[in-house]
Structure 1
């Protein structure tokens, strides 16, 4: 337990602007990935329905 407390004292915590900046970067990356995966899902679904026919 004492080692954990000593380690936490050595941690350099980010400032608020750094936190906001990193959060924004992660959020933008996730939104871009959602768009890419959604577009691929739509394209493959559309292509399979065209090939196999839909009722």
Structure 2
């Protein structure tokens, strides 16, 4: 079963690279995170302060 959690950071979205909205990892026993998306980059309304909101899938 895949679960997801959100994590907020006091980092402006503008500090992130201009091209990219997250990543997907290969399935390994070494990693707990399967994917990560910068939610605030994809959907600006999810962070009213304009700071980074990340969704982790594991």
The TM-score normalised by the length of structure 2 is 0.20
| Higher RCO, 1 vs 2 (CA within 8 Å, ≥6 residues apart) | 2
> Which of the pair has more CA radius of gyration?
1
| Higher strand fraction (1 or 2) | 2
